[in-house]
Amino acid sequence: MTISHGVDRLSALIDRFRIRAHVACVEGATAKPNLFITTSAGDGEGRPPLEALIFRPRDGGSLCASGSVVVAAQVELGGEDAPLSLALPEEVRVDLSRAPALAAVACVLRDELETPRCGRQAAVDRLCEVVVIRLLRYAMETGAAGHGLIAGLSHSQIALAMVAMHEAPERTWKLEDLAEVAGMSRTVFATTFRDVVGQTPGAYLAQWRLIVARQEIASGLPLKTVAGRVGFASAAAFTRAYQRAYGHPPRADRRPVLEAAE
C-alpha cells in the first residue's frame, strides 16, 4: 500500500531511538558485527558486484556466505526496548540486485571503506546509518514483517494513526480520534489495527508511552515531568503502570551517575 505524501513514518522513531553504527575498517575491529554486505563469488576478473545485505538486529557473530564479506558493522537501533529492533525478524536478508536504492548506498560505503582517506571511519559509520534507514524503508515497502510495528507502518491508513501516537504520546487519544486520523470508521480501524499490528490501538499506545518514559527516566528527567510528557494524569498513576510493565518502579531505571548528582 502507498503512504500519503508528506507523512514521515520513521523520523519520530529515529529521532528518539538513534541509529548508531560502527564499521570495521580492518578485519576483526568490530567485536560482534550484526550487519554484513557480501559480494558474489565473482569470476576472478575485476571487483565482484555486491550480492546481499544481511542484518540481524538482535544478534551478531560470524556469517556463512557464498561470496566474501566486504562490510561488517555493529549496529544499534536504540537499545533493548527500541521498537524498530523488536519489530524486525531475527534476520533480514536482501538481494541487492533487487533493491537498487539500497545497493547504491552500499556501493558508496564499500568504495569509502576500501580507499583510505581522511575521516574515513566517520564517513563509513554515517553511511552505514543511511544503509540501515534505507533497509528499514525496504522492509516497510516489501512487508518484511508479518505483523507489528513494521507491518503497521507499511499500511497506508494504520501508519497515519501510528505516526500520530509516536509524535504526541501525551495526547489523550480516543479510539475515534485515531480512526479519524486514519480515515477509517471506528470499527474497521480497531479491527484492522489489531490484525496488522497484533494488538489493540489502546495497548499499543500504552506500550509506546512506557517505552518513551523509560528512555526519559534514564536521561534524568523528574518523574512528574516524564509522567506528564507521556500522558499520565499523575506521577502515582504513572508509577503504578511502570511497575506493572517492568516489574520495578521508575527510579530503578535512572542511571547511577544521575542519582548521585541529585
Q: Is the pTM of this model over 0.75?
A: yes
Is CATH 1.20.1250.20 what the domain over 155-261 is classified as, yes or no?
Answer: no
pLDDT band at 86 (very low <50, low <70, confident <90, very high): confident
Distance CA 15, CA 31 (A): 26
Q: Nearest CA to 238 among 177, 165, 169, 174?
A: 169
Read off the pLDDT of each residue in 23-38 and give the average, rounded to a whole number.
75
- Give the pLDDT of residue 3: 46
| Cβ pair 124, 113 in contact under 8 A | yes
Q: What are the pLDDT digits (tens) for 233-254?
A: 999 999 999 999 999 999 998 8
Report the C-alpha gap between 86 and 88 in whole angstroms: 6
Output the pLDDT for position 227.
95
pLDDT-derived band at 45 (thresholds 50, 70, 90) equals low
Q: Taking the chain, what is the end-to-end CA distance rounded to the nearest angstrom?
A: 50
Judged against a pLDDT cut of 80, whether residue 63 lies above it is answered with: no
DSSP conformational letter for 148? S
What digits encode the pLDDT tens for the residues 48-59?
889 999 999 887
d(CA 113, CA 98): 23
Alpha-carbon distance of 135 to 174, in angstroms, equals 33
Say if CB 55 and CB 91 are below 8 A apart.
Answer: yes
Find out whether 249 and 217 touch, Cβ atoms under 8 Å: no
Q: Which amino acid does the sequence have at 53?
A: L
What is the Cα–Cα distance from 1 to 38, expressed in whole angstroms?
30
Mean pLDDT of the chain, nearest integer? 87
Residues 6+ apart with CB under 8 A from 203: none
Contact assessment for residue 51 and residue 66, using Cβ atoms and an 8 Å cutoff: yes
Residue 137 CB partners (closer than 8 Å, separation 6+): 10, 101
CA 40 to chain centre: 28
Helices (H) and strands (E) in the chain, counts: 12, 5
Q: What is the pLDDT of residue 104?
A: 95
* pLDDT at position 172: 94
The predicted model gives 13-19 an average pLDDT of: 89
Res 89: pLDDT: 86
Question: What average pLDDT does range 6-20 have in this prediction?
Answer: 86
Q: Where in the chain is the domain with CATH 1.10.10.60?
A: 155-261
Residue 7 CB contacts under 8 Å (≥ 6 apart), including other chains = 159, 160, 163
State the pLDDT at residue 6: 62
Q: Above 60 in pLDDT, residue 4? A: no
Residue labelled with grid coordinates 485515531: 178
In this structure, is the dihedral angle defined by the CA atoms of residues 119, 125, 128 and 133, taken in order, positive or negative? negative
Determine the Cα–Cα distance for residues 50 and 32; give it in Å rounded to an integer. Answer: 22
